[in-house]
């Protein structure tokens, strides 16, 4: 099945929100989605945005998406590409669509002179882990990812 990848536009906000919601439900976190079409338009396509997105299409219909931003490695003194989300709809899984999106982003990273292409995966998502292993990606098991959000973030920011 032929796929195409195109840059997302603000007109894709509803499609992106749909994919975000499907991904969150798949990751057992559907209740955590706070995004709306308006916040997607502002955060991905608004002035000063540092976020980028592409839409994967099959027969001119949305089949998946990827969202990324650039981070920075002090050790390399280079930007890196950080993949925030990649999602392929269930009908298109196992077709190579996910690898196609990953390859597209690897090409973007190389074109932009990035020293790294990184992402996170839930430890129970074996199908995705198999794909990542098959393309030569290496898990970074020595690093523990930390997160501060919600009230903990607000409380810490306010603390004296």
72 is catalytic: no
- Paired sense of beta strands 78-88 and 116-119, if any: parallel
CA dist., res. 109 & res. 53, Å (int):
14
Q: Residue 43 contacts by C-beta under 8 Å, 6 or more apart in sequence?
A: 49, 51
- Paired sense of beta strands 51-58 and 61-73, if any: antiparallel
Q: Residue 62 contacts by C-beta under 8 Å, 6 or more apart in sequence?
A: 12, 15, 19, 55, 56, 89
Annotated catalytic residue, options 72, 82, 132, 146: 132
Catalytic residues: 132
């Amino acid at each position: 099945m032929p796929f195409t990848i195109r840059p997302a536009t603000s007109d894709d906000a509803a499609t992106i929100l749909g994919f975000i919601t499907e991904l969150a439900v798949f990751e057992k976190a559907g209740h955590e989605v706070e995004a709306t079409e308006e916040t997607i338009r502002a955060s991905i396509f608004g002035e000063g945005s540092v976020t980028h997105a592409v839409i994967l299409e099959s027969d001119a219909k949305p089949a998946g998406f990827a969202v990324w931003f650039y981070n920075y490695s002090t050790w390399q003194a280079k930007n890196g590409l950080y993949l925030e989300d990649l999602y392929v709809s269930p009908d298109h899984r196992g077709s190579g669509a996910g690898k196609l999106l990953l390859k597209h982003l690897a090409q973007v990273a190389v074109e932009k002179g990035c020293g790294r292409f990184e992402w996170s995966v839930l430890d129970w998502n074996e199908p995705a882990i198999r794909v990542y292993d098959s393309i030569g990606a290496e898990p970074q098991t020595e690093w523990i990812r930390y997160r501060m959000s919600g009230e903990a973030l607000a409380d810490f920011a306010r603390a004296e």
